[in-house]
Amino acid sequence: MASIIEIEGLTKSYASGFKALNGVDLTIEEGEIFALLGPNGAGKTTMISIICGIARASSGSVKVAGHDIVRDYRGARAAIGLVPQELSTDQFERVIDTVTFSRGLFGKPRNPAHVEKILRDLSLWDKRNAKILELSGGMKRRVMIAKALSHEPRVLFLDEPTAGVDVELRRDMWKLIGQLRETGVTIILTTHYIEEAEEMADRVGVINRGELMLVEDKTALMKKLGKKTLTVVLAERLDAVPAELAEWQVTLKGDGQEIEYIFDTQAERTGVSSLLRRLGDLGIGYKDLNTAQSSLEDIFVALVHREKAA
Ligand SMILES: Nc1ncnc2c1ncn2[C@@H]1O[C@H](COP(=O)(O)OP(=O)(O)OP(=O)(O)O)[C@@H](O)[C@H]1O
Ligand SMILES: [Mg+2]
């Protein structure tokens, strides 16, 4: 796959001196869905704003479809569609006019057939003559997407596409984003919802305090997700892990009161029942058992937490 966005050493310090981005390197492949995951204030919107030419980088470089975002601003901008985090559009304008106007802003010739296709794809055709203020929140968001797609961009940025959207609408949005990808558009979305990244993304990037801490294939992450932790609460505490349990590589936790075993849920043999049998054979009694899924959320929280502790 060819790359469509190349970010190198991107740093942003705001006038206040606050460093919102710190040496970000990232390559986005054409046609992928990339989810940028991070807590409030991590630098997601800052990063998107720089790529889209709304904010200026302090140092580093960004190329979009081969165009440097500073030296060849127009070329870069023409390749980008942006649905900003804060929705703003003229409330009194009609849906079809606002989308047509957006296309014009990019100096593209009028193309009613293309505008119609976008509105149909986004289930907005019936509402084409409605004023924006007459639409529901979910419809407004789709109008913003229609506007962002009006000039046929190769990359679409969605900054928190489902923030404040109910579960059902969120699912609709996911479906829509999936369909958009079918048209060949590269999609970069930011989200707080781990579930959203799991559902949508080909690759996931975790950003925290202006640093990109992890970029990984979603399937690789899902493999990690496949891991579960079994905690065996012992009837009596142990001083050390008995040698007979070596093959399970268990660890002693809770001051010797618990045994922890990490297993792969996808594996043919998880080792859970054999471990419990062995405990029985050794006469090690237990009071309770519980298992917990390690999720993208755990990975995320652990990463963010480690950073905070540092
Ligand atoms: N114009 C600005 N001037 C000064 N600081 C700013 C400005 N814009 C953003 N910041 C700061 O930069 C940091 C990153 O903000 P940014 O909006 O990029 O975060 P985010 O990851 O998009 O967060 P959220 O999930 O809340 O949207 C924050 O600490 C924010 O206060
Ligand atoms: Mg933001």
CA–CA distances in Å: residue 149 to residues 12, 122, 156, 158 = 28, 11, 8, 11
Expressed in angstroms and rounded, the spacing between residue 84 Cα and the centre of ligand 2 is: 9
Please give the pLDDT value at position 235: 96
Q: What are the structure tokens assigned to 216, written together?
A: 């990984």
| Four-way CATH pick for 3-222: 3.30.460.20, 3.90.230.10, 3.30.530.20, 3.40.50.300 | 3.40.50.300
Where does residue 216 rank: exposed (0-12), middle (13-18), buried (19+ CB within 10 A)? middle
Pocket lined around ligand 1, Cβ cut-off 6 Å: 14, 16, 18, 20, 38, 40-46, 85
Q: How far is CA 258 from the centre of its chain?
A: 35
Q: Using CA atoms, how far apart are residues 46 and 56, in angstroms rounded to an integer?
A: 9
Three-state DSSP state, 101? helix
Residue 297 has what pLDDT?
62
Domain boundaries in the chain? 3-222, 227-293
**How far is residue 231's CA from residue 258's CA, in Å, rounded to a whole number?**
6
Report how far residue 173's alpha carbon sits from residue 139's, in angstroms, rounded to the nearest whole number: 11
Reduced to 3 states (helix: H, G, I; strand: E, B; else coil), residue 228 is strand
108 SS3 class: coil
Cβ neighbours of 204 (radius 10 Å): 25
Q: List pLDDT tens digits, range 24-63.
A: 999 999 999 999 988 889 999 999 999 999 999 999 999 9
DSSP letter for each residue of 159-171? ESTTTT--HHHHH
Q: How far is the CA of 164 from the centre of ligand 2 (A)?
A: 13
Q: 300 Cβ partners below 8 Å, 6+ apart?
A: 37, 194, 206
Ligand nearest to the CA of 55: 1
- Pocket test residue of 13, 37, 44, 196 for ligand 1, highest count of atoms within 8 A of CB: 44
CATH number assigned to the domain with residue range 227-293, chosen from the 4 options 3.30.1240, 3.30.70, 3.90.1690, 3.30.870: 3.30.70
Ligand 1, atom 8: nearest CA belongs to which residue?
46
Compare 121 and 48 and report the one with higher pLDDT.
Answer: 48
Q: From 263, 262, 265, 255, select the one nearest 233 (Cα to Cα).
A: 255
Asked whether the beta carbons of 95 and 124 are under 8 A apart, the reply is yes
Please tell me the distance from the alpha carbon of residue 130 to that of residue 133, in angstroms, as a whole number. Answer: 8
Q: What is the mean pLDDT of residues 131-157?
A: 91
Tell the residue nearest (CA) to atom 25 of ligand 1. Answer: 40
User: What letter represents residue 94's amino acid?
Assistant: R
State the pTM of this model. Answer: 0.78
- What tokens appear for 143 in the block? 């109008």
Q: Is the pLDDT of residue 164 over 80?
A: no
Sorting pLDDT into bands at 50, 70 and 90, what band is 302?
low
Q: Rounded to 5 degrees, what are φ and ψ at 148?
A: -65, -25
What digits encode the pLDDT tens for the residues 223-245? 666 678 899 999 999 999 999 99
Q: What is the arithmetic mean of pLDDT over 190-207?
A: 86
In this structure, the number of other CB atoms found within 10 A of the CB of residue 17 comes to: 6
